[in-house]
Structure 1
Amino acid sequence: MGITAFQALACPLDGDPLLRQGTSWRCAAGHSFDISAQGYTHLLPVQQKRSRDPGDSKEMVAARRRYLNAGFYRPIAALVSRAVLVGLPAGRAAACLDAGCGEGYYLRELAAAAGETHDLALLGLDISKWAVLAAAKQDKRPCWVVGSNANLPALPASLDRVLCMFGFPVYAEFARVLRPGGELLQVDAGPDHLRELREIIYPQLKPERPAEASVPAGFEALPGESLTYTLELAGAAVIADLLTMTPHLYRASAEGRAKAAALTALSLTVDVRLTRWRRAAAGGGEA
């Protein structure tokens, strides 16, 4: 089987199962969602949007695609892929969602790591249509959808793994779509992540907020991991791509952005934390 598209989609309007009929997905109530020529489906109803064009812009997506495809975050992808592939169910394809998939880099790396030894049914979701379009163009095998973590268009208990990479976790939704025993893998920036860049663009760094210690309702804590390494960026273009793909571009002052634009080389610390949660069995671990 190898890599296949996740099929257990739910209607974003009423939660009923969606069935594929030709080039569209339909639910029993008659709601229909077209599959685009590029291969993705828009499952974000207008009433669930907070703006006309939510999520990352076309420019941010293009910068992230160039930066990630250059391999700078491949160690992060390798860490996550190893964690995803441990203990997968036998005898069927394991279903995995990247909730906030961007342009699909981490799912592509996961598919490569799975090789011929693991069967995976993949779902990539992002609120940015530009991100999902870029993802669909690069790999046709997963199911790509425009959607929101606040209302995941997946059926209850249909997923074995959920990834949340530098994203916005909605734990109640993650718990709903994960099977008992399924795992949530969350990657967040550590205290030293991109510190050298932040020291250049901000007058002073904000004190680090303490990490969340509480276990989300419906989950059990699993051992996490940390990853720290150094990057050497050469050339103004790649530094500009890194800044463009992060929220720092919009948080920095004009002076800070000008300082970053003047850089032609930068030594950077990558510091991330992988937190793992297991979906509790029914009747256990609920708050």
Structure 2
Amino acid sequence: MPVTPFQALACPLDGDPLTRTDTAWRCPAGHSFDIARQGYTHLLPVQNKRSRNPGDSKEMVAARRKFLNGGFYQPIAEAVNRAALADVPGEGTLSCLDAGCGEGYYLRQLATAAGERRTLELLGVDISKWAVLAAAKQDKRPAWVVGTNARLPVLSASVDRILCLFGFPVYSEFARVLKPGGQIVQVDAGPGHLRELREIIYPTVKPEKNEDTVAPEGFTTLATTAERFSLELTSQDQIADLLAMTPHLYRAGAEGIERASALNSLTVTVDVRITCYRLSDSAYPL
């Protein structure tokens, strides 16, 4: 299965096309961005950072890597792959951006599912340098970039698919970088997601409610599906890794974290909503 790095990167300072050399990406104005020895590139200017080290910490990335590589969220990956590859010709090239790629698990899963006759041009972008570093160490084939969804370092109308999983979508930027007819595959937590864990770490849990999915401006909804299954966690480490890769680690109080840390096993419900949006024809010209 041919997997190649995405090439249509844009300078984060002026938006002009970047050209790769052996050691750096450069734009016509002379801005240069070194390629780290691990294979990723930092395209997040300091003026676009809200903190010194934005995004997931090194510890959160390590926990997510262990948990996802354990196969616990494999059903989600398979559902995302089906959605991303639906109605795609069996041959040719498909460019895919994972906007908020984390340590790269879902792009690696997509590469495995794509088949032998289709070429994938892959790009993972995350605001966390620790996440992008972990992704680059695990798979050298995609392009890995430290960047922000608020100002993607990607040329306009250059991407076929965008994955946004448990992330922070910026639909205006997604519309800009998608090709005509391009699609977003978005995964969000459903009302019952990790409810059993939330009942342990929080004093009260809000009642479940289903929210209607409204297409963002410039897009039409193609399909919305639910993926729901149970996980059997059989060790303190597995429970700790799951908690560490979620925002609940920072939202819960000390007593709730202590209760979770005392558990040796836990059955939790995974409940996610997978929505596919298509860029409307009316979104052009941008």
Q: Same fold (TM over 0.5)?
A: yes
Residue 166 of structure 1 is matched in structure 2 by 166
Are 1:61 and 1:131, in contact at CA under 8 Å, matched by a contact in 2?
yes
| Matched ranges for 1:165-204 at <5 A | 165-204=165-204
Structure 1 residue 14 displacement after superposition:
0.7
Is 1:53 the counterpart of 2:90? The answer is no
Is 1:20 the counterpart of 2:24? The answer is no
**Which has the higher mean CA deviation after the structures are superposed, 134-143 or 109-118?**
109-118
Q: How far apart, CA to CA, are the structure 2 residues paired with 1:173 and 1:255?
A: 40
Q: How far apart, CA to CA, are the structure 1 residues paired with 2:283 and 2:44?
A: 32
Residue 87 of structure 1 is matched in structure 2 by 87
**Matched residue count:** 286
State the AA in 2 paired with 1:279. Answer: L
Residue 241 of structure 2 is matched in structure 1 by 241
Q: Secondary structure at the match of 1:174?
A: helix
Where structure 1 has 5 or more consecutive residues not aligned to the other structure, the ranges are none
Residue 278 of structure 1 is matched in structure 2 by 278
Residue 69 of structure 1 is matched in structure 2 by 69
Structure 1 residue 280 displacement after superposition:
1.3
State the AA in 1 paired with 2:194. Answer: L
Seen in structure 2, the aligned counterparts of structure 1 residues 127 and 212 have a Cα distance that, compared at 3 Å, is farther
Structure 1 residue 161 displacement after superposition:
0.1
Structure 1 residue 210 displacement after superposition:
5.7
What is the aligned-residue identity percentage? Answer: 66
Are 1:217 and 1:285, in contact at CA under 8 Å, matched by a contact in 2?
no
Are 2:180 and 2:284, in contact at CA under 8 Å, matched by a contact in 1?
no
Where structure 2 has 5 or more consecutive residues not aligned to the other structure, the ranges are none
Q: Secondary structure at the match of 1:223?
A: strand
Cα deviation code 1:85-117 (max 9, x no counterpart): 112257631100000000000000000111313
Seen in structure 2, the aligned counterparts of structure 1 residues 209 and 147 have a Cα distance that, compared at 3 Å, is farther
Q: How far apart, CA to CA, are the structure 1 residues paired with 2:254 and 2:280?
A: 47
Seen in structure 2, the aligned counterparts of structure 1 residues 159 and 143 have a Cα distance that, compared at 3 Å, is same
Q: How far apart, CA to CA, are the structure 2 residues paired with 1:261 and 1:204?
A: 18
Q: How far apart, CA to CA, are the structure 2 residues paired with 1:249 and 1:69?
A: 20
CA RMSD, Structure 1 to Structure 2 (Å): 1.6
Cα deviation code 1:132-166 (max 9, x no counterpart): 00000000000000000000011001000000000
Q: Secondary structure at the match of 1:30?
A: coil
Residue 113 of structure 2 is matched in structure 1 by 113
Structure 1 residue 214 displacement after superposition:
2.9
Are 2:16 and 2:28, in contact at CA under 8 Å, matched by a contact in 1?
yes
Seen in structure 2, the aligned counterparts of structure 1 residues 282 and 30 have a Cα distance that, compared at 3 Å, is farther
Are 1:187 and 1:275, in contact at CA under 8 Å, matched by a contact in 2?
yes
Q: Secondary structure at the match of 1:225?
A: strand
